[in-house]
């Protein structure tokens, strides 16, 4: 396909990498959760077509606190009256728990910094997050300043932050600085600016956070990790600061960049629930935290109520969650493929509570997130016996033998193909009843007796049975080693058929004295196979009925009606 004038890759150039041949991060592993800072109420909110109302912000705030966030960015109060009012509402309404620190964002301008401190007056603990842009394109095309001029903006902002904090001594202040567009800035220069800011703060006694943002994700996560490692190895003040990351998702790698960044030395991660944010979104804290969880690492967040997280997020942002969203989407624990369904069913049947999770295609247990196993298997025309078996076993208590699985799945698959869509568990059960259980109504066993006469019958059981067939009452009498054998012999004698039991299985449907039994029979009548199923409170009755249900499907069953008439 020929390229068009408007789609021309030559307009772009590769992002420069970092010269760090002895990089250490590829050999590192993450063994503990970073400090999390939610920016849903600031970065996530400013990215919305319709910003959150106060009621929605409070609902999101309550959720974030419930999940266990200890640092929450609550707004940009110097740039927005609603943000200012919301911060005041949290403080004056005493809605901030003792162990939670609020954070605000502000540009490196004195009047905005003064206004921000007004908004946070009375807070017990707070982080003032100041920033200025440092990338070449920002320096040259937005601000028209050289490197020294841009560094001076950051340093002056740091001074104002320190000076205004002294006016509010009742608050435990922490200072945070971001070289905006760190990912697009020469790493040597970004480190130089950060060190200059740290130098302004290091003797203030206020803990310092240096936040390294991928404001625009412009390279692979490995390049970002190199940038983070270079900073951590070359800043003069690594032991004196917390290194934080704020990645965006322009290339779809925000989570990967954050994880590699932690391997490269970062301590703290900023992001949003489910990845809401500017352009393609922020780092998805739910995904990264669950990635850690799936590796046996405590994420330090309680994400067990995933449905509540989704509901609140969708309500506050008005952004629906994609059904394939990692961990949280409606379909992520769902298998349509027949081979996947079969593997899941087999693994689940062998999974013990006292061992690590080992289920094919399910990296975590859906129950950990408040999800039900009822939704794990979904059935359509592409599904195999495993999916049908799972639904009948988990929803209706049927432990189908393998040959029964094959027969039942064929019938379900045919129905799915006819519908050209998904088959619900109720529809599967209806098909099972229609093809296997309902035929018993037309040929129901009315009564039977089973006796043993050692003298006359060589120790064999004698069966006398009456059942309905085509409106007629049919009597069968036979003997054998057990009720089923006696019935087969009686059928052969009555109809002249060659009958053989190929397979048989039965089990209780539920526990207790009132439990129902269900029996499955595969019968060969004149070398043709037939399947019969029946349930009854008595296992012998269920077994006899299952044999009759299979046998009456044979063409020779018409002999019964002729003899009856």
pLDDT at residue 382, as a whole number: 66
In a domain, 14, yes or no: no
pLDDT at residue 407, as a whole number: 87
Q: How many Å apart are CA 67 and CA 355, to the nearest integer?
A: 27
Same domain, 146 and 263: yes
CB 275, CB 249: distance < 8 Å: yes
- Among 374, 389, 381, 373, smallest CA distance to 423 is for 381
Among 271, 286, 317, the domain-final residue is 317
In a domain, 9, yes or no: no
The total number of structural domains that make up the chain: 3
Same domain, 346 and 304: no
Q: How many Å apart are CA 333 and CA 316, to the nearest integer?
A: 25
| Burial status of residue 156 (CB atoms within 10 A of its CB: 0-12, 13-18, 19 or more) | middle
β-pair type (472-480, 461-469): antiparallel
Domain that holds residue 368: 338-437
pLDDT at residue 330, as a whole number: 86
In a domain, 331, yes or no: no
- Among 196, 193, 107, 184, smallest CA distance to 141 is for 184
pLDDT at residue 554, as a whole number: 86
CB 253, CB 215: distance < 8 Å: no
Dig out the tokens for 564 from the structure: 């009856």
Same domain, 142 and 265: yes
Same domain, 155 and 266: yes
In a domain, 7, yes or no: no
pLDDT at residue 565, as a whole number: 46
Residue 447 sits in a domain of what CATH number? 3.30.160.270
pLDDT digits (tens, 9 = 90+) for 248-274: 999 999 999 999 999 999 999 999 999
Residue 38 sits in a domain of what CATH number? 3.20.20.70
Q: In 58-118, which ranges are E strands? A: 71-75, 101-107
Same domain, 365 and 457: no
Same domain, 64 and 142: yes
Same domain, 200 and 241: yes
pLDDT at residue 378, as a whole number: 61
Residue 357 sits in a domain of what CATH number? 1.10.1220.20
Q: How many Å apart are CA 429 and CA 392, to the nearest integer?
A: 7
Dig out the tokens for 156 from the structure: 């002056």
Dig out the tokens for 548 from the structure: 């009759």
pLDDT at residue 440, as a whole number: 59
pLDDT digits (tens, 9 = 90+) for 360-375: 999 999 999 988 644 4
Q: How many Å apart are CA 245 and CA 30, to the nearest integer?
A: 15
Does the CA dihedral 364-367-369-374 come out positive or negative?
Answer: positive
In a domain, 109, yes or no: yes
pLDDT at residue 379, as a whole number: 67
- Among 24, 19, 29, 45, smallest CA distance to 316 is for 45
Q: How many Å apart are CA 517 and CA 155, to the nearest integer?
A: 80
In a domain, 537, yes or no: yes
Same domain, 177 and 284: yes
Same domain, 304 and 433: no
Same domain, 416 and 499: no
Q: How many Å apart are CA 194 and CA 552, to the nearest integer?
A: 86
CB 440, CB 545: distance < 8 Å: yes
| DSSP string for 325-378 | STTTSTTTT-B-SHHHHHHHHHHHHH--TTS----TT-SS-GGGGT--GGGTB-
The helix or strand, by DSSP H or E, that contains position 476, with its residue range, turns out to be strand 472-480
Q: How many Å apart are CA 479 and CA 482, to the nearest integer?
A: 8
CB 480, CB 500: distance < 8 Å: no
In a domain, 19, yes or no: no
Q: How many Å apart are CA 491 and CA 137, to the nearest integer?
A: 90
Q: How many Å apart are CA 130 and CA 428, to the nearest integer?
A: 59
Same domain, 186 and 85: yes
In a domain, 10, yes or no: no
Same domain, 405 and 482: no
Enter the DSSP assignment of 15: P
Among 286, 317, 348, the domain-final residue is 317
Rounded average pLDDT per 10-residue block, the chain, 565 residues: 70 88 97 98 95 95 98 96 96 98 98 98 98 95 95 98 98 98 97 98 96 96 98 98 98 98 98 96 98 98 96 95 93 81 87 94 93 59 71 87 87 85 86 82 85 70 88 88 92 88 89 76 92 91 92 79 54
For the chain, the first-to-last Cα distance in angstroms comes to 77
């Amino acid at each position: 396909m020929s390229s068009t004038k408007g789609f021309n890759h030559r307009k772009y150039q590769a992002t420069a990498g970092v010269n760090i041949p002895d990089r250490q991060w590829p050999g590192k592993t993450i063994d503990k959760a970073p400090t999390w800072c939610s920016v849903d109420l600031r970065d996530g909110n400013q990215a919305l077509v319709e910003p959150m109302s106060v009621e929605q912000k409070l609902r999101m705030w309550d959720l974030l606190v419930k999940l266990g966030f200890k640092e929450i960015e609550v707004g940009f109060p110097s740039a927005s009256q609603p943000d200012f009012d919301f911060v005041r509402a949290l403080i004056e309404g005493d809605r901030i728990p003792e162990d939670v620190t609020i954070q605000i964002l502000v540009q490196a301008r004195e009047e905005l910094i003064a206004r921000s401190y007004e908004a946070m007056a009375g807070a017990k603990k707070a982080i003032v997050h100041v920033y200025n842009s440092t990338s070449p394109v920002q320096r040259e095309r937005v601000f028209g300043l050289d490197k020294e001029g841009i560094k001076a903006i950051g340093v002056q902002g740091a001074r104002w932050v320190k000076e205004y904090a002294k006016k509010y001594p009742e608050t435990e202040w922490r200072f945070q600085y971001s070289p905006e567009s760190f990912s697009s800035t020469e790493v040597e220069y970004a480190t130089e600016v950060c060190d200059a800011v740290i130098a302004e703060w290091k003797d203030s006694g206020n803990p310092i956070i240096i936040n390294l943002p991928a404001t625009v994700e412009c390279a692979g996560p490995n390049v970002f990790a190199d940038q983070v490692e270079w900073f951590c190895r070359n800043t003069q003040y690594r032991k004196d600061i917390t290194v934080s990351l704020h990645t965006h998702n322009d290339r779809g790698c925000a989570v990967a960049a954050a994880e590699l960044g932690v391997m490269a030395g970062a301590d703290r991660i900023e992001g949003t629930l489910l990845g809401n944010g500017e352009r393609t979104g922020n780092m998805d804290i739910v995904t990264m935290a669950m990635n850690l969880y799936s590796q046996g690492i405590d994420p330090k967040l309680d994400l067990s109520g995933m449905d509540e997280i989704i509901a609140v997020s969708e309500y506050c942002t008005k952004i629906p969650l994609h059904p394939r969203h990692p961990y949280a989407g409606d379909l992520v624990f769902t298998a349509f493929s027949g081979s996947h369904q079969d593997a899941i069913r087999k693994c689940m049947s062998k999974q013990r509570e006292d061992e690590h999770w080992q289920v094919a295609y399910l990296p975590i247990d859906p129950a950990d997130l408040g999800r039900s196993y009822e939704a794990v298997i979904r059935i359509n025309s592409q599904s195999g016996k495993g999916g049908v078996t799972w639904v009948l076993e988990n929803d209706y208590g049927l432990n189908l033998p393998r040959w029964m699985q094959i027969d039942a799945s064929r019938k379900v698959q045919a129905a799915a193909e006819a519908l050209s869509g998904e088959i619900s568990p109720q529809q599967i059960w209806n098909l099972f009843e229609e093809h296997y259980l309902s035929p018993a109504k037309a040929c129901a066993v009315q009564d039977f007796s089973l006796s043993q006469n050692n003298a006359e019958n060589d120790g064999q059981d004698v069966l006398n049975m009456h059942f309905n067939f085509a409106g007629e009452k049919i009597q069968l009498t036979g003997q054998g080693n057990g009720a089923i054998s006696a019935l087969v012999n009686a059928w052969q004698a009555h109809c002249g058929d060659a009958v053989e039991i190929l397979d048989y299985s039965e089990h209780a449907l539920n526990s207790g004295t009132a439990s129902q039994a269900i029996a499955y029979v595969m019968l060969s009548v004149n070398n043709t196979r037939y399947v019969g199923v029946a349930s009854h409170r008595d296992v012998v009755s269920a077994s006899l009925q299952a044999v009759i249900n299979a046998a009456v499907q044979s063409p020779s069953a018409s002999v019964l009606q002729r003899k009856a008439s």
